[in-house]
């Protein structure tokens, strides 16, 4: 298990100036935005505006903080995300504008290159959980509280990368929140 501490993550401004991104993990390591196979990051969104297009990429967006965001897709579909909604999966090359509900938000972005990798994101509340992962990678992103992961502590903002096959035992107090991300080669 490789632990990634929040303090070690790289923070960078968006190209359009509408927010910042904190990169948690990317493959291949050090890959630029134009050439990754998968990427996990958190974004601070401060203003309404269009999402960057990522041709050939699938994306899952999960709201972490704030009052919500409405996604207005170019084909007419609209989706409202708040802290209670399930992670939302969509093609990152679809035209989409984000409209903030009432002030800035923070979100978790998971992206994978279509046809090369796939991903699935699950939001877990505090308590005890056991997760088995038979292929690819399991990435855990702790959001609230301290999580015990097979005897190691993940503080809020920390992450862990576990290669398959693996089974992990997770535990946090009732107010905790953690995201379990499964990444698999296509």
pTM beyond 0.85: yes
Q: Which long-range contacts (CB under 8 A, 24 or more apart) does 14-22 make?
A: 14/43, 14/52, 15/52, 16/49, 16/50, 16/52, 18/45, 18/46, 18/47, 18/49, 19/43, 19/44, 19/45, 19/46, 19/47, 19/104, 20/44, 21/109
Write the CATH number for 122. 2.60.120.10
- 2 within some domain: no
Of 63, 93, 113, the one marking the end of a domain is 113
Overall domain count for the chain: 2
Is the peptide bond between 125 and the residue preceding it cis, with omega within 30 degrees of 0? no
- 4 within some domain: no
For each successive 10 residues of the chain (186 residues), what is the average pLDDT? 92 76 94 92 92 95 96 97 95 96 95 97 96 95 94 94 95 92 96
Of 80, 113, 146, the one marking the end of a domain is 113
Query: Range of 81's domain?
Result: 9-113
- 39 within some domain: yes
My answer on whether 20 and 82 are in the same domain is yes
Closest Cα partner for 67 from 33, 91, 100, 43? 100
- 55 within some domain: yes
My answer on whether 57 and 89 are in the same domain is yes
In this prediction, residue 16 carries a pLDDT of 65
Q: Whole-angstrom Cα distance, residue 156 to residue 5?
A: 9
My answer on whether 21 and 95 are in the same domain is yes
């Amino acid at each position: 298990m490789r632990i990634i501490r929040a303090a070690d993550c790289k923070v960078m401004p968006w190209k359009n100036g509408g927010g910042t991104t904190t990169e948690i993990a990317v493959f291949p390591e050090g890959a630029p935005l134009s050439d990754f196979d998968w990427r996990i990051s958190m974004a601070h969104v401060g203003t309404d505006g269009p999402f960057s297009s990522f041709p050939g990429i699938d994306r899952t967006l999960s709201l972490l903080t704030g009052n919500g965001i409405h996604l207005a897709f170019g084909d007419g579909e609209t989706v409202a995300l708040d802290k209670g909604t399930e992670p939302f999966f969509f093609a990152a090359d679809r035209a989409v504008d984000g409209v903030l509900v009432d002030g800035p938000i923070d979100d978790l972005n998971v992206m994978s290159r279509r046809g090369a990798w796939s991903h699935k994101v699950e939001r877990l509340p505090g308590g005890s959980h056991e997760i088995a992962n038979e292929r690819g990678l399991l990435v855990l992103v702790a959001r609230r509280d301290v999580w015990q992961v097979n005897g190691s502590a993940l503080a809020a903002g920390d992450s862990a990368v576990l290669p398959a096959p693996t089974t992990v035992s997770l535990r946090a107090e009732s107010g905790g929140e953690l995201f379990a991300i499964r990444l698999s080669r296509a």
